[in-house]
Amino acid sequence: MVVIDDRNNGWRSLVIPLACMDELVMSSVMAVSAFHLSERAESHHLVNAGMLYSKAILNLQKRQDLHQYDIHSRYRIIVSIIVLLLGMMVNGSSDFPIMFRMLQSALDMSYPTHSRALDLISKLRDQAFQIYLNRAYSVQAGMTAPADLISTFKQMLESFPEALPGEHVLVWPIFIAASESHDPDHQQFFTRLLEKQFHRNGFMNIAKALESLRRIWARGADENWTALLPKQPVLVM
């Protein structure tokens, strides 16, 4: 599953050492390995992949109340779920949705603040995607993109608490929403947010993104700014 098999191979450097220390991780590793081996004719009768998988699931069920475990134990539980999830992906198992929901629940329970941040980030990215598509489509169809898309994006962004982690990854979605903004108040709002991120991390690409926005706004609402993005030699992030 790794792209480059070198000393940074997480399976070898992280998962296997954890498996040697923790029975739960070991049961997940054995189950996934057994499924892999069972696909080979000569190994078909040597391992019972189904039995090992059932054992791994049973061990997870015994530890489903994460609140009674410390952070290190929770980490190993999450690693075990990820290992099984990867196994389900590789083998095309119908249990994949179940395992994925199990991972989501474990992460939500272990990192509730992060869970809320990720949910908001996901919604904001989706909204920015819709803003982009609406602009690209409206130019072809001779229509105007719905103005409420920008208002909804702004409201969601305002609901993002200052203390939540992950705000810095919203630079690109903000840039997209700002590009479609024609209301001066909205433009000032997005400008302030991007300036705040620039002062926080000092990334020059954000300053250049602000320059691009001013050029887009100066062209007016009829400008197809989506056609300008490929011509921009700067990656906004």
* Mean pLDDT in order along the chain per 10 residues (237 residues): 69 86 91 78 66 87 83 89 87 84 85 79 92 79 65 89 78 92 92 91 87 88 76 68
How many residues comprise the chain?
A: 237
DSSP state, 236?
Answer: -
- 124 and 212 in a single domain? The answer is yes
**pLDDT reported for residue 42:** 58
Grouping H, G, I as helix, E, B as strand and the rest as coil, residue 83 is: helix
pLDDT at position 33: 85
What whole-number distance in Å separates Cα of residue 46 and Cα of residue 125?
48
- DSSP three-state, residue 11: helix
Structural domain for 149, as ranges: 113-231
Looking at residue 189, its pLDDT comes to 94
Q: Tell me which of 69, 89, 110 is where a domain ends.
A: 110
pTM over 0.85: no
Task: Output the pLDDT for position 195.
Answer: 94
* 117 in the same domain as 100: no
Q: How far, in Å, CA of 138 to CA of 130, rounded?
A: 12
- Do 92 and 124 belong to one domain? no
Same domain membership, residue 173 and residue 206: yes
The DSSP element (H or E) to which 21 belongs, if any, is helix 16-21
- Domain limit, last residue, from 60, 89, 110: 110
- Considering the domain boundaries, does residue 5 fall inside one? no
| Secondary structure of residue 204 in the 3-state scheme | helix
Where does residue 101 rank: exposed (0-12), middle (13-18), buried (19+ CB within 10 A)?
exposed
What pLDDT is attached to residue 172? 92
pLDDT at 102: 87
Structure confidence at residue 140 (pLDDT): 57
